[in-house]
Structure 1
Amino acid sequence: MKSSYRKKKIAILTGRIMGKGGTETVLSTLGNNSELNKIFDFDIFITEHLSNKDLFDFLNTLKLVRKIKIDKSVNRIWRNISIVLYLIITQADIVIGMKPRYIQIAAKIKKYFNKRYKVVSWIHFSLKHMPGSGNSFEKMQLFLPMADAHLAISSGIANELIEIGISSENISIIYNPLSRQESTIYPVKQDGIARFVYVGRLYDEQKNIIGLLNILSTFDINLQLDVFGTGPDEKVIHKVAKQLLDKKSHVVWHGWSQNPWEQIDNADALLLTSNYEGFPMTLLESISRGLPVVSYDCPTGPEDIIKNGENGYLIPIGSQEKFKDGMTKVTNHQKFSDRENVKNTLDFLYGDAYTERFKSAIHNILGILD
């Protein structure tokens, strides 16, 4: 006898996709999760993108996704029309919007065309700091309550949703997917040089890299910072580094790398001085390889990830002196000598944990009992 169970269909309106970054990592994980693809059909509608090699490399990672639609329209009006037409004909059970404007559009189509899908928000930045002119906090306050439910990638984002009047009962904290890595980044050999790592965009308004360079300039020990990434502020940041740092503080600029972690064998810690995040993958990727982190307690994400003294140090945002103290502490090789223990601090995120959280959240939204 055949089962009467029908796979539920989930349509995801992505917003801008550039081919690399945390959102792409999450979508790629969904697109390749065989367990989730047994019970859900995913449609991924890439509403905004840059046509480059990185995008096509990303699309090639989506092995199990049934349908990928790319709207190549440059004109915003035509792009919105394309989204509207898609929503009118879709048979999705759930429509997930990654931008507030898509929540508004999906909710209106549901109302005026009597669609039965559930509208779900899935924002990947702090609500108060989401990039893009159409993503102001005022827009968040106006459009996000139009959703039936909300997926939050951090407790900080969940709290921000509550702050704008959304009931905690309609919020599911699912974090981001993460795999425990077999490879390990080991402590630095005793050569008198402290070694730190930065992995991310060179975009100072968010990442506050010049603030990090200011902290490095206060050290009187030999240290090296390996920087992996590119971005719009690259030239300015290079110039500031030359002005601030002496010969004791050495920066190695590696540029963008498909997998920077393969180039890191030994380090004391990864550093993050961001003004805002969502659920920073760079912290997760670092700790999953045993590398401790020193990070500002910015909105949002680091507070869910960092356990002081176990996998690094969480520093009050803007406190450069305390950040410097954290960097000094993390160079204590006895404190973090067992890098497997560092990896173990993220057991709640590894493997099947994300699959179960995502499945449980979707079933709860649809009123399905697990």
Structure 2
Amino acid sequence: MLNRHILFYIGDLGGGGAERVMLNLLQNLDRNKYQLTLLLHSEKGAFYKKIPSDIQKVIVCWKTGKIHFLYRIYQLGNAIKKLNPDLVVSFRTASNIAVSRAKFLTRFRAGIILREGTNTISWLKIKTKSFFLPIRKLEVKIFYSLADKIIANSDGIKNDLVINFKINSNIIHTIYNPIDFEGITKAIRQSDNSPYTKQEHEKIILAIGRLDPPKAYQDMISAFSIIRSVIPSRLLILGQGSLESEIREQIKKSQVEDFVKLHGFVNNPWVYLVNADVFLSTSHWEGFPNALIEAMACGVPPVATDCDFGPREIIHDGIDGFLTPVGDIKYIADRVIELLQDDELRSRLAENAKNRVHAFEISTIIQEYETLFDEVLLSSSKRDETSLAY
């Protein structure tokens, strides 16, 4: 099965976790087996310039507004027909629904795999008015069920799709997000200096993620106010998003503006990680947090909320990090303080964290993706042969 044509589809290559996973796949899939094309709606995004040069990029500009809804779906389907791939692999919930609609309406021949990395039920609740929620749930059920396979990036995501959307579990496969240890090491070596100056006796707490509601930065700022009252420390937050102004306002109201820094999106977060003392995540929901496993790969012990989904599949509480109840500000602060005050504990958890995440090494995860791709490609070929016979 040589040089089968796989089309990857996502709206844009912004700086999020799904985009990073897609970029890792584009960089590492076997070119002796696959011809790769990337379909986007925009050239914008932090990762766009990192797309490998051998990959064909196709931009389909969408018109905005509800009146153009069906036109956009037909436009997407016709673009896929023209490119004539053997397999379409879609990332992100909105893109997944769009590509399934396009296949239903335009009947392009390629098989489809939907990769879901979001707590879908929680995502719908913040994106949809309560009256329309049952309709949106039905929409996900119908269009996700049209896929040949669905990739969930955690068992929690898989269970969410089965329980809340009644999707057949047999078409859903859990494949965790990959870690490129070699790439991280190279990125760290390429930077000669730490991006920040660490004061004597000062501890650094690092957070990475979009400045959006699921990350619950309001809890993080509240917890840091407690931590700072006990231990000289700074909180560095890497990421950009819709809530930046609200977060800045809370930082000011909490009177910690001298000790909290919003760095925005950074291309090389690992040089921040290797100099951090603790990684902190206060999310109310997740899919499978890339930043968490990357922090552990850099030997930074994590404190993360035991939210749906992901952290409990990564962290063994008290062994390679700490899990905390969601929204429990005092408990979160206490666990961070415990780590910062106990050098031996912090060192032990850091070493265990590095060992834990070797299970997500990129070569292992890429092989899992390729195995699933080959399965769907073989099944699609048999369908095509059957159709020709008739």
Taking structure 2 as the reference length, the TM-score comes to 0.80
Instruction: Measure the CA separation in 1 of the matches of 2:238 and 2:222.
Output: 18
Structure 2 match to 1:325: 334
Q: Is the 8 A contact 1:120 1:148 kept in 2?
A: yes
Structure 2 match to 1:240: 250
Query: Shift in Å at residue 367 of structure 1?
Result: 4.4
Structure 1 match to 2:87: 94
1:275 alignment partner, SS class:
coil
Instruction: Measure the CA separation in 1 of the matches of 2:323 and 2:375.
Output: 33
Query: Shift in Å at residue 310 of structure 1?
Result: 3.0
Q: Is the 8 A contact 2:204 2:276 kept in 1?
A: yes
TM-superposition CA deviations, 1:281-337 (whole Å, max 9, x none): 111221111111111122222222222223311222222232223212322221231
Instruction: Measure the CA separation in 2 of the matches of 1:67 and 1:286.
Output: 32
Matches within 5 A, 1:296-315: 296-315=305-324
Instruction: Measure the CA separation in 2 of the matches of 1:100 and 1:62.
Output: 21
Structure 1 match to 2:101: 105
Structure 2 match to 1:259: 268
Query: Shift in Å at residue 138 of structure 1?
Result: 4.2
Q: Choose from 4, 7, 11 the match for 2:3.
A: 7
Cα 1:282/1:264, change in 2 over 3 Å: closer
Instruction: Measure the CA separation in 2 of the matches of 1:336 and 1:139.
Output: 46
Q: Is the 8 A contact 2:273 2:300 kept in 1?
A: no
Counterpart code for 1:209: Y
Query: Shift in Å at residue 85 of structure 1?
Result: 0.8
Cα 1:358/1:100, change in 2 over 3 Å: closer
More helix by percentage: 2
RMSD of the alignment, in Å? Answer: 2.9
Structure 1 match to 2:298: 289
1:128 alignment partner, SS class:
helix
Q: Is the 8 A contact 2:40 2:58 kept in 1?
A: yes
Query: Shift in Å at residue 264 of structure 1?
Result: 4.7
Q: Choose from 210, 213, 237 the match for 1:227.
A: 237
Instruction: Measure the CA separation in 2 of the matches of 1:142 and 1:260.
Output: 39
User: 1:358 and 2:358 equivalent?
Assistant: no
Query: Shift in Å at residue 211 of structure 1?
Result: 1.4
Counterpart code for 1:230: Q
Taking structure 1 as the reference length, the TM-score comes to 0.84
User: 1:29 and 2:28 equivalent?
Assistant: no
Query: Shift in Å at residue 70 of structure 1?
Result: 0.8
Query: Shift in Å at residue 72 of structure 1?
Result: 2.0
Structure 2 match to 1:349: 360
Instruction: Measure the CA separation in 2 of the matches of 1:298 and 1:64.
Output: 38
Structure 2 match to 1:158: 158
1:348 alignment partner, SS class:
helix
Structure 1 match to 2:145: 145
Instruction: Measure the CA separation in 2 of the matches of 1:315 and 1:129.
Output: 20
Counterpart code for 2:77: V
1:88 alignment partner, SS class:
helix
Q: Which stretches of structure 1, 4 residues or longer, exceed 4 Å deviation after superposition?
A: 131-136, 189-192
Instruction: Measure the CA separation in 2 of the matches of 1:168 and 1:253.
Output: 41
2:357 alignment partner, SS class:
coil
Q: Is the 8 A contact 2:74 2:102 kept in 1?
A: no
Q: Is the 8 A contact 1:37 1:64 kept in 2?
A: no
Which stretch of the first structure deviates more once superposed, 234-243 or 58-67? Answer: 58-67
Counterpart code for 1:84: G
Query: Shift in Å at residue 210 of structure 1?
Result: 0.9
Q: Choose from 59, 64, 75 the match for 1:82.
A: 75
Instruction: Measure the CA separation in 2 of the matches of 1:240 and 1:129.
Output: 24
Q: Is the 8 A contact 1:269 1:330 kept in 2?
A: yes
Which stretch of the first structure deviates more once superposed, 95-104 or 127-136? Answer: 127-136
Q: Is the 8 A contact 2:96 2:115 kept in 1?
A: no
Q: Choose from 267, 270, 274 the match for 2:283.
A: 274
Query: Shift in Å at residue 60 of structure 1?
Result: 3.0
Counterpart code for 1:177: P
User: 1:128 and 2:121 equivalent?
Assistant: yes
User: 1:215 and 2:223 equivalent?
Assistant: yes
Structure 1 match to 2:175: 174
Count of residues in correspondence between the two structures: 350
